[in-house]
Amino acid sequence: MDITEKLASELNIKKTQVESTIKLIDEGNTIPFIARYRKEATGNLSDETLREFGERLIYLRNLETRKEEIIRLIDEQGKLTEELKKEIEKAELLSELEDIYRPYKQKKRTRATIAKEKGLEPLANIIYLQSDKRKIEEIAKEYINPEKGVETVEDALNGAKDIIAEIISNEAKYRKKMKSLCFKEAVMTTKANKDEKSPYEMYYDYSETIRSLPSHRILAINRGEKEEFLKVKIEKPEEKIIDFIKTDIIKDKSSQYSDILTEIIEDSYKRLIEPSVDREIRTDLTEKAEEKAIKVFGKNAKQLLLQAPIKNITVLGFDPAYRTGCKLAVIDKNGKLLDTSTVYPTEPQNDVVGATKVINELIDKYDINMIAIGNGTASRESEMFISDLISKNKKELYYAIVSEAGASVYSASKLATEEYPDINVSIRGAISIARRLQDPLAELVKIDPKSIGVGQYQHDVNQKKLSESLTGVVEDAVNSVGVDVNTATPSLLSYVAGINKTIAKNIVEYRDKTGNLKTRKELLKVPKLGKTSFEQCAGFLRIFGGKNPLEITGVHPESYEKAEKLLTKMGYSVDDLLKNERLEKIREDLKSIDVVKTAKELEIGELTLQDIIKELSKPGRDPREEMPKQILRSDVLKFEDLKEDMILKGTVRNVTDFGAFVDIGVKHDGLVHISELSDKFVKNPSDVVSVGDIVDVKVIKIDTDKQKVSLSMKGIRQ
């Protein structure tokens, strides 16, 4: 297989793009670096495409390595033919390759191997090839051997049947045909395994073709089966499968071999092929469903990480609770902890007066304008308390509901202990909630991505693949925003291209010892940060208040000379980037640049020049500022206030295969089913909405008993 051609065809890109990208990956460049600073070489492939490219490259290389290994193993057995070699080389899937290799694998003792030990293989070959015209019983008599345990004709025939059944079950083309028919026609049926209520009741008597089963349903059924609520069966087109095998094997339906071979084929199918292919089909379905779920999770996580920060404000973090009290943490505009407290406005104490006094004192003392309320236990009651407090306070105050998914995981982590060694674990949650509102990215990178609350069956999927995918998502998010090297935590720095956890720690230690870094080049003094790491990370790190204004942009040091030449050509200097009135003029002049002509003059790629122009137009900009802003509230909406046809503004909290969950300010997020997302047909909800989007929705159904609300975005201009 030509891997280059295969990748070009699969990703619909040019062969030259594939060759350049493979070279860059093999040289040890990181995906964020390639995506951002090697656009000419890749033909401007996005980070998502490059990650998919990297995964497929590893898979295809592993496939080629396995092919070579299988060819060697079969050749060592003296069974390799040209035809078999071609079949192996043609295989495009690891599963297909293993099916071809199956007959040549060293097996455990089976009924067939025992029969071969009894000397019955020649008899099996006669029956399988249907070549001998004598009666089967006469032929079988010749293989009676009491010393080897073959005492009768029946013993000999049964042993021969076992050998043929295994030959049939090992034939790759039968398995391939069976899988193909199953993926077209087979139906998955599920029944209740125990008569009790569960989240899987819709599957207690359910059936659907496996061809049309969506990924979330496959994962739900798998979980229901694992928890022993469901019995699952795949109903296959059995007759078609057996007929296909019979047509291929039986030469003459009227011969004496027809009945015995039919019996063997049916036994091979039921006893050997079906259970094995059943497992393979379930594995294939699960892997595809997991892949989809991981992609959905990754997309949601990236949107959550890239939510707009709320800068330059002091925030009161409010972590709701009942008996143990609501924890408070005051965080200044730079993320520094100023004060903590605990209040008891909820049951059982209901100390609203005392809690109001404490919070009002904190608001006055630290000039607080914003309260971040966690959305966990007692969130609803806390929101009502805060809303009432705001209505009675003369100061302009707002609150926002913040997802506290993973806050408890962070609070008890080693990292939180290092950050706040003298602060109680329970208070750390309130700190995290406040900081999530100020800078979601910087705070959420401290938490295992699986715990940030935007998944779909994330605990049921392959955890290694999920971790790898989410690490990539976090890297892409961090590098697309850029990181202030003089304020970033080791957690944030460790996701920058080319920087591992050790280097991140070393940067912070160097910074603490020598003071703020003044230039990117100073990074080369950090222990273990060599030239290779510097090349990968430099463009993603920002140095505010340093010696070179280009270092607050994403312009890579390798392009400083070109950027300076461009500014000089326009009549400016790099220092003008920091002067507002000059910057306005630079922006205007940059709009009229002839990219093709200027790129040639500067001897630089057009894509690189376009990126430099973009960076010079908005030095120090935070791309997240263009994302939808958090909804800020001052009053509360009760579930009882909801009425059908009511139009509300809400925040998309999670996107799944079947729709989107939207926070409209009541206790539970409302569901906009995929069929209610748009007036047009929607194949994939993430084509219409993303986590963090602010949307208008209409209430279409209210279930008071279950406290659930169904929403629609149809007919509403967004």
Domain ranges of the chain: 3-99, 107-170, 315-438, 508-626, 639-712
Which residues 6+ apart lie within 8 Å of 652 measured at CB? 660, 661, 662, 663, 689, 690, 691, 692, 693, 694, 695
pLDDT score at 315? 95
Which residues 6+ apart lie within 8 Å of 260 measured at CB? 127, 136, 157, 161
pLDDT score at 147? 92
Length of the chain: 718
pLDDT score at 634? 64
Domain 315-438 in CATH 3.50.50.60? The answer is no
SS3 712: strand
Which residue type occupies 266?
E
Residues 678/712, Cβ–Cβ less than 8 Å: no
Angstrom distance (rounded) from CA 420 to CA 428: 8
Consecutive H or E run containing 283: helix 274-305
For residues 600 and 292, the model is more confident at: 600
- Per CATH, which fold does 508-626 belong to? DNA polymerase; domain 1 (1.10.150)
Residues 322/480, Cβ–Cβ less than 8 Å: no
For residues 627 and 7, the model is more confident at: 7
Q: Which residue has the tokens 């304008």?
A: 369
pLDDT score at 641? 79
* Ramachandran angles phi, psi of 324, nearest 5°: -80, -5
pLDDT band per the 50, 70, 90 thresholds, residue 580: confident
Q: What is the mean pLDDT of residues 590-612?
A: 94
Least confident of 10-14, 394-398, 520-524: 394-398
Angstrom distance (rounded) from CA 207 to CA 196: 20
pLDDT score at 635? 66
Residue % of the chain over a pLDDT of 90: 69
Angstrom distance (rounded) from CA 567 to CA 589: 10
Angstrom distance (rounded) from CA 82 to CA 88: 10
pLDDT score at 456? 63
Q: What is the pLDDT of residues 181-216, one digit of tens each?
A: 999 999 999 999 988 888 899 999 999 999 999 888
pLDDT score at 407? 82
Angstrom distance (rounded) from CA 641 to CA 25: 56
Q: What is the mean pLDDT of residues 237-252?
A: 95
Q: Is the dihedral of CA 532, 536, 539, 541 positive or negative?
A: negative
Residue 609, judged by CB atoms within 10 A of its CB (0-12, 13-18, 19+), counts as buried
Is 90 exceeded by the pLDDT of residue 651? no
CA 618 to chain centre: 31
Consecutive H or E run containing 191: strand 187-192
pLDDT score at 636? 62
The residue among 52, 76, 56 whose CA lies nearest residue 64 is: 56
Is 90 exceeded by the pLDDT of residue 626? no
Which residues 6+ apart lie within 8 Å of 434 measured at CB? 315, 316, 317, 329, 330, 331, 372
pLDDT score at 460? 78
Q: What is the mean pLDDT of residues 228-240?
A: 95
Least confident of 84-98, 628-642, 666-680: 628-642
Residues 670/650, Cβ–Cβ less than 8 Å: yes
DSSP 13-57: --HHHHHHHHHHHHTT--HHHHHHH-HHHHTS--HHHHHHHHHHH
CATH number for the segment(s) 3-99: 1.10.10.650
pLDDT band per the 50, 70, 90 thresholds, residue 455: low
Average pLDDT, the chain: 91
Q: What is the mean pLDDT of residues 223-228?
A: 93
DSSP 486-536: TT--HHHHTTSTT--HHHHHHHHHHHHHH-S--SGGGGGGSTT--HHHHHH
pLDDT score at 197? 87
CA 467 to chain centre: 8
| Tokens standing for residue 481 | 């925003």
* Ramachandran angles phi, psi of 145, nearest 5°: -150, 90
Residues 662/653, Cβ–Cβ less than 8 Å: yes
**Strand stretches in 236-346, DSSP E:** 315-319, 326-331, 337-343
Q: Which residue has the tokens 């040091």?
A: 557
pLDDT score at 222? 94
Residue % of the chain over a pLDDT of 70: 98
Count other C-beta atoms under 10 Å from residue 408's C-beta: 18
Least confident of 155-159, 497-501, 695-699: 695-699
* Ramachandran angles phi, psi of 351, nearest 5°: -85, 70
Residues 163/115, Cβ–Cβ less than 8 Å: yes
pLDDT score at 633? 67
- Distance spanning both ends of the chain, measured CA to CA: 48
Q: What is the mean pLDDT of residues 594-613?
A: 95
pLDDT band per the 50, 70, 90 thresholds, residue 375: confident
| Tokens standing for residue 170 | 């090992």
Q: What is the mean pLDDT of residues 658-678?
A: 87
Is 70 exceeded by the pLDDT of residue 637? no
pLDDT score at 632? 67
Q: What is the mean pLDDT of residues 711-716?
A: 89
pLDDT band per the 50, 70, 90 thresholds, residue 640: confident
pLDDT score at 622? 82
For residues 635 and 124, the model is more confident at: 124
Q: What is the pLDDT of residues 28-85, one digit of tens each?
A: 999 999 999 999 999 999 998 999 999 999 999 999 999 999 999 999 999 999 999 9
Angstrom distance (rounded) from CA 63 to CA 69: 10
Q: What is the mean pLDDT of residues 547-551?
A: 94
Is 80 exceeded by the pLDDT of residue 453? no
Residues 220/200, Cβ–Cβ less than 8 Å: yes
| Tokens standing for residue 548 | 């070179």
- Per CATH, which fold does 639-712 belong to? OB fold (Dihydrolipoamide Acetyltransferase, E2P) (2.40.50)
Buried-exposed string 88-114: b where 16+ CB fall within 10 A, e elsewhere:
beebeeeebbbbbbebbeeeeeebbee
Q: 463-481 and 274-305 helices cross at what angle (nearest 10)? A: 20
